Amino acid sequence: MTQATIKTAAMLAIGDELLSGRTKDKNIGHLADMLTVAGIDLKEVRIVGDEEEAIVAALDALRSRYDYVFTSGGIGPTHDDITADAVSAAFGVPCEHDADAMRLLGAMYERRGMEFTEARQRMARMPRGARHIPNPVSTAPGFVIGNVHVMAGVPQVFQAMLDNVISTLPAGAKVISRSIACPFGEGDIGTLLAGVQKAHPDTSIGSYPQFDGQRFSTELVVRARDAAAVDAAAVAIEAMIAAISAEKDAARAKDLGTGELA
Amino acid sequence: MTQATIKTAAMLAIGDELLSGRTKDKNIGHLADMLTVAGIDLKEVRIVGDEEEAIVAALDALRSRYDYVFTSGGIGPTHDDITADAVSAAFGVPCEHDADAMRLLGAMYERRGMEFTEARQRMARMPRGARHIPNPVSTAPGFVIGNVHVMAGVPQVFQAMLDNVISTLPAGAKVISRSIACPFGEGDIGTLLAGVQKAHPDTSIGSYPQFDGQRFSTELVVRARDAAAVDAAAVAIEAMIAAISAEKDAARAKDLGTGELA
């Protein structure tokens, strides 16, 4: 297992509704979970509105920097769905009605006795040369061009498309993580934890403060691609928590006049 | 009311836990809501991990492009809290223990009978020349330097800090929005809706598909800074929905053989 096998990814979530607060994104967290399980490092996320220039600029920055880019949103049939056009522009290819997508969608609407309107035909548009991402929920496919995977914004559809994408990616070395509940706030553990991190450089130790309205506690998460490294760091963290507990107990005993010094 | 008064903003959410899926961000949606109410346009969001280079690059891109930048995360007392260092680096000033913040934090820990540890003192670090953002929840202040507003990642603290920030910003012209439930999917309305958008260029008409597991409906949202423009577009959308309903009713009647043509 070498670092060279680790793939990186970025996400671009597209939609004015995400920036206005009208819709609260649910796709970023889901993609993050799925990529972690797949052993792919999500390194950056951007959210932009339905503006071609903004989408193209973000796509160009991300697709050159990371192994995979995943987008959500903007591939429906309305006037503000411009993701296919923007992706085509970024790749410098025409955006056109894909023959297979036209057949799939045409057949679906015929089965349902619905008209295959001009608006609905927009959902068959994709960059020339793109491959489909199947959409088992509502038929209209996502697509892949280069390293960019274009998916729907509706969470049920995004998730179904992602299931179809993720299995096609070469899996990275999986990240193993271990979570350790720590009853102390970050201020109590910060200096010692920095020492643990330094002593275990092959791991990434995250510290996530939790606040119950009264006091902070912390969840500590050790991540690494090597199980033995995770174990070693976890042992060190548990020893750290025990040492802080003992110190606090001693201080309390001293305050109460019942400690060794009393 | 001129376009020139409209301020733009970007958000930078910082934290490995957001990219691993360990934590699901709650601050982006909250900021989006608050800025919409304040009449400030949120134009872009980025999420990066706890890496100085990534934070500095994102900050530099965003602070030069938008009127305001808001960050969340990375200002706690642990080794992975490097936002203050990264912001200092971006602005080319030293990151140092702020005297006022040291006093505030020192007094708070003294009141609580807790040690003001080296780790806790980290929370008093900020770029030289920064102003505090008060933190009524847990004392450790956020800070403002230039157009960058640095806030905590814990949602309760982020929200409290943002309340203190938002009142200091010159309010933009507020965006008025009107939401219209549409019983038809985007494919039924796309072409007509594009016409409504073209006829009402001062408004932004968003179309948000909803999927109940069986069929799509749509929520249409008209936004503008001018109430009369919102009203006019809303009337046009309601007429559009009525026209589609009538057309569908007529088609159904015809199918049943009870229509005018029967």
Long-range pairs for B53-57 at CB < 8 Å and ≥24 separation? B54/A43, B54/A44, B55/B12, B55/B14, B55/B82, B55/B83, B55/B86, B55/B87, B55/B90, B56/B86, B56/B89, B56/B90
State mean pLDDT over B107-136: 95
Q: Does A205 touch chain B (CB under 8 A)?
A: yes
- Write down all domains in chain B, each with its CATH number in brackets: 6-166 (3.40.980.10), 176-255 (3.30.1370.10)
* pLDDT of amino acid A254: 76
Inter-chain residue contact A21 with B44, CB threshold 8 Å: no
Are B50 and B62 within 8 A, CB to CB?
no
Are B66 and A64 within 8 A, CB to CB?
no
Tokens of A173: 């070395």
Chain A residue with CA closest to B79: the answer is A194
Rounded distance between C-alpha atoms, residue B84 and residue B142, angstroms: 9
Mean pLDDT per 10-residue segment, chain A (262 residues): 71 96 94 90 97 98 98 94 98 98 96 92 97 94 98 94 89 81 90 92 83 83 90 96 91 65 40
**Closest listed residue to residue A41, CA positions, set A71, A76, A4, A14:** A4
* pLDDT of amino acid A257: 60
Q: Quickly tell me which residue has 């305001």 as its tokens.
A: B68
Q: Name the band, by pLDDT with cuts 50, 70 and 90, for residue B254.
A: confident
Q: What are phi and psi of A85, to 5 degrees?
A: -65, -45
* pLDDT of amino acid B208: 80
Tokens of A165: 């994408």
Residue B262 clears pLDDT 60, i.e. is over it: no
Q: Does A214 touch chain B (CB under 8 A)?
A: no
* pLDDT of amino acid B192: 92
> In this complex, which of B44, B122, B190 lies closest to A122 when CB atoms are compared?
B190
CA R_g for chain B: 25
Whether this model's ipTM surpasses 0.90 comes out as no
pLDDT in tens, B176-214: 889 999 999 888 898 899 999 999 988 888 888 777 777
Are A143 and A132 within 8 A, CB to CB?
yes
Q: Does A45 touch chain B (CB under 8 A)?
A: yes
* pLDDT of amino acid B168: 87
Chain A interface disruption, residue of B50, B186, B197, most A CBs within 10 A: B186
On chain B, the residues whose CB falls within 8 A of the CB of A188 are: 117, 119
Inter-chain residue contact A77 with B43, CB threshold 8 Å: no
CA R_g for chain A: 25
Inter-chain residue contact B187 with A123, CB threshold 8 Å: yes
Rounded distance between C-alpha atoms, residue B58 and residue B260, angstroms: 63
Q: Does A166 touch chain B (CB under 8 A)?
A: no
The answer for A 223-262 residues in CB contact with B (under 8 A) is 223
Minimum distance, in Å, between the CA of residue B216 and any CA atom of chain A:
9
The answer for A 63-82 residues in CB contact with B (under 8 A) is 76-81
Q: Which letter, b or e, does each residue of B173-185 get, where b requires 16 or more Cβ atoms within 10 Å of its Cβ?
A: bebbbbebebebb
> In this complex, which of A78, A191, A208 lies closest to B17 when CB atoms are compared?
A208
Rounded distance between C-alpha atoms, residue A8 and residue A67, angstroms: 5
Are B71 and B149 within 8 A, CB to CB?
yes
Q: Which amino acid makes up residue A4? A: A
Q: Quickly tell me which residue has 């994709």 as its tokens.
A: A126
Rounded distance between C-alpha atoms, residue B163 and residue B174, angstroms: 17
Chain B interface disruption, residue of A68, A110, A186, most B CBs within 10 A: A186
**Closest listed residue to residue A81, CA positions, set B84, B192, B208, B63:** B208
Burial class (CB in 10 A: 0-12, 13-18, 19+), A248: middle
* pLDDT of amino acid B257: 60
Inter-chain residue contact A22 with B191, CB threshold 8 Å: no
Chain B residue with CA closest to A205: the answer is B80
Rounded distance between C-alpha atoms, residue A206 and residue A82, angstroms: 38
Rounded distance between C-alpha atoms, residue B12 and residue B41, angstroms: 15
CB neighbours of B197 closer than 8 A, spacing ≥ 6?
Answer: A79, A80, B203, B205
Minimum distance, in Å, between the CA of residue A141 and any CA atom of chain B:
14
Percent of chain B with pLDDT over 70: 96
Residue B88 vs residue B252, higher pLDDT: B88
Chain B residue with CA closest to A248: the answer is B114
